[in-house]
C-alpha cells in the first residue's frame, strides 16, 4: 500500500464510505447483549441487506446496520479515527482500519 490517510470528520468519513458503497454497522462483542459495541463499515451486498424484515434476536457477535448518527455517537465518544488507503487514480480501495486517536 502506498500510503494512508486518517479521517476524523464526519462528512469526510461518510463521503469516503459512500464512494465505495459502504454503510455503518455495529457488532456486539459483549457476552451481555448491547453492552460493548464495536464499529465497522460494511460494503457491497452486505450494506444493502433487507432492513424491512422482522427484528432479529440480538446475540453476541451479531452485526447490525445502523444510522450514521448512532455510529458517529460511538465513534466520537470513544475518540476513534478512520485510517484509509490513500486514493490512487483508477482505484477505489475499501481497505480501512478504525483506531483510537
Per-residue pLDDT tens for 10-31? Answer: 999 999 999 999 999 999 887 7
- Eight-state DSSP code of residue 89: T
The per-residue pLDDT for 61 is 54
Could you list the residue range(s) of the whole structural domain that residue 29 is in?
Answer: 4-100
**Is the pLDDT confidence value at 93 over 60?**
yes
Average confidence (pLDDT) over 72-79: 96
Residue holding cell 455495529? 26
**Is the pLDDT confidence value at 58 over 60?**
no
Q: Structurally, how many domains does the chain consist of?
A: 1
The per-residue pLDDT for 36 is 77
Gap between the Cα atoms of 87 and 65, Å rounded: 26
C-alpha cell at 7: 479521517
**Is the pLDDT confidence value at 2 over 70?**
no
Mean pLDDT of the chain: 84
Amino acid at each position: 500500500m502506498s500510503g494512508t490517510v486518517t479521517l476524523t470528520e464526519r462528512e469526510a468519513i461518510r463521503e469516503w464510505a459512500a464512494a465505495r458503497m459502504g454503510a455503518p454497522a455495529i457488532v456486539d462483542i459483549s457476552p451481555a447483549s448491547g453492552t460493548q459495541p464495536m464499529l465497522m463499515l460494511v460494503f457491497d451486498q452486505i450494506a444493502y441487506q433487507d432492513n424491512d424484515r422482522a427484528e432479529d434476536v440480538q446475540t453476541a457477535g451479531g452485526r447490525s446496520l445502523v444510522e450514521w448518527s448512532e455510529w458517529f455517537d460511538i465513534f466520537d465518544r470513544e475518540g476513534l479515527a478512520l485510517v484509509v488507503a490513500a486514493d490512487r487514480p483508477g482505484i477505489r480501495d475499501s481497505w480501512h482500519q478504525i483506531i483510537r486517536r
